[in-house]
Structure 1
Amino acid sequence: MKSVTVFLAAVLVLEATALPTVLRFSQERAVLKPQLVRLHQVPIVKDKVGVDLCPTCVDFTTQAINALLEIILNGGVLTACSDLCGALANKTGSQAVGAICDVLCSIVGVEEFIQLIQDADLDPIYFCELITVCPVFDSGDANITALTVKPPQGPQGTSFIVDIEYTSKNGTGTGELVIELDTVDGIPVASAFLQQKQPPGTYGSKITIHAKPDPDCDPTQGPCEMWLPGTYIVKIALCNGECGSLHPHSQIYDTGSTNFTITG
């Protein structure tokens, strides 16, 4: 019971600090900004009991895959999951990350885990499919049926709500919903959200864009979106696997676009 409690605590800590998946829809690494916040997706399917390892695995891999690759490439004695995951915990300063690593590594064993980390080529969803914690479904589909922004215009500081509806005839595989903005000043603003395998049906998501400069953004560390007056193009993609990935079990189901205007 103690080990289960520790694992659950680790999952909660990891999910609280998780970073969004790297965008590949436009075939480049866009700057991921905190102005994009996922509100909710409906319906929420509750057909599993206990901890669902798929989102936990994707969050973990997004955060840890670079550190794991560095540990592997630096060599050393890695004969057990505890060796690799202990090194990861030390490198990241997070026992929670180390605990999740140990759970996932134990599924396939340390040698296979290391090989799959290298084979995944920085694609968290594909890696989690390889270790079998995210389901694969290659006969899925999704069609965007409605895409709007409310309000359609407003001054700087407005919270714009992007409302997406889509239907699936066959169901969907483990994938992503990606949002990318063409901004007035040309600074890339984007994010991607994990979409778990779903049965046929109609689904919706709402994403809030807080169109005001981030007071914590440091221009010496990277570009800061200023949300200047003008028209902003909103591009959406629904994908099986990571959008733009060349790995198996990856495809773009559908794309759509809309816009909003920041007034002067």
Structure 2
Amino acid sequence: MKGNAYFCAAFAVLLLAGHALAIRHHERPHRLSQGVSLSTVQSPTFDLCPTCVSFTGQALDILLNIILNSGVVGSCGTLCGELANKTGNKDLGVVCDLLCDYVGIKEFIKFIQNADLDPIYFCELLKVCKIVDNGDAKFTSLEVHPATGRRGRTFAIAFDWTTTNGTGTGEIVIEVITLDHLPVGTGNLIEPQQPGSYSGTASLSTDNSGCDPSQGPCEQWLPGQYTVKVAICNGECGSTHPHSQIYDMAEATFNITADASRL
């Protein structure tokens, strides 16, 4: 894959309404069922943007609640220390301190309140993620291999896309429309790319043998036809904030037959 792509912990849902694909901002699957995983390419240079987006996806809602419940927060240390205490995660507190000190406590709190739980927009407000508003992208192919396979196997998802003007900080999101309507999806943060052609891959495991029903409903991967939907966006897919738009969307289908164990 050409260019930089980073795994983002927040998952996006693509919903089919008639023949239109509706992407709902902030609507995320409550759990990743039998893992869709995207390939990633690491940046050779130090870059705060993916760190900021990953941190924000985990912490923004908690920070907002701390601010609303505390009333007055006097320093970055106080706010970020409370975040570390509430989450039991000292690393989140360290990243919070780093980003907060970068802009100051007043601006940091203002951006948290204005971001509306949008990690990419928040990090653009902090000026650690680059803004590009004249970008574009278009999918040129999307395939699932094999087109038909038995339940329990791993399917490969491959896609290609091009950009004429380059892209802004955004994401590629993938969702599988399942027969029992449980959310299965993932997303990749994509930092600004130069004009050119790009490709990506994802893997989809349909083995649910390790699924724990006590943690929530398990995707059953019933025999039938499934649809894979992908979107590439500037900013968070479905966001109404500035610097956000859906560049392009594509879809493909694949079929699941009986369990491999029944051969």
For the aligned pair, the TM-score class normalised by the smaller chain equals 0.7 to 0.9
CA distance in 2, matches of 1:76, 1:97: 21
CA distance in 1, matches of 2:209, 2:113: 36
The equivalent of 1:175 in structure 2 is 170
User: What RMSD, in angstroms, separates the aligned Cα atoms of the two structures?
Assistant: 1.8
1:182 maps to amino acid? I
Q: Which runs of 5+ in 2 are unaligned?
A: 1-5, 15-22, 259-263
Q: Residues 86, 172 of structure 1: CA spacing in aligned structure 2 closer, same or farther, 3 A cutoff? A: same
CA distance in 2, matches of 1:201, 1:214: 41
The equivalent of 2:216 in structure 1 is 222
CA distance in 2, matches of 1:22, 1:119: 21
Q: Is the 8 A contact 2:38 2:187 kept in 1?
A: no
* Equivalent residue in structure 2 for 1:184, among 164, 179, 187: 179
Residues 160-179 of structure 1 show CA distances to partners (whole Å, capped at 9, x for unaligned) of 11001101011000001011
2:9 maps to amino acid? P
* Equivalent residue in structure 1 for 2:10, among 6, 18, 21: 21
**Which structure is richer in relative contact order (CA contacts within 8 A, separation 6 or more)?**
2
TM-score (norm 2): 0.87
CA distance in 2, matches of 1:113, 1:140: 28
Q: Is the 8 A contact 2:13 2:183 kept in 1?
A: no
Q: Per the alignment, in what secondary structure is the counterpart of residue 188 of structure 2?
A: strand
Q: Is the 8 A contact 2:8 2:187 kept in 1?
A: no
The equivalent of 2:3 in structure 1 is none
* Equivalent residue in structure 2 for 1:132, among 111, 127, 130: 127
The equivalent of 1:152 in structure 2 is 147
CA distance in 1, matches of 2:40, 2:115: 29
1:215 maps to amino acid? G
| Identical counterparts, % of pairs | 49
CA distance in 2, matches of 1:160, 1:130: 38
1:248 aligns to 2:247 (yes or no): no
2:29 maps to amino acid? A
Alpha-carbon shift at residue 192 of structure 1 (Å): 1.5
Q: Is the 8 A contact 1:161 1:208 kept in 2?
A: yes
CA distance in 2, matches of 1:254, 1:184: 25
Q: Per the alignment, in what secondary structure is the counterpart of residue 81 of structure 2?
A: helix
Corresponding residue pairs, total = 242
Q: Is the 8 A contact 1:144 1:167 kept in 2?
A: yes
Q: Residues 176, 159 of structure 1: CA spacing in aligned structure 2 closer, same or farther, 3 A cutoff? A: same
TM-score (norm 1): 0.86
* Equivalent residue in structure 2 for 1:202, among 197, 202, 218: 197
The equivalent of 2:58 in structure 1 is 63
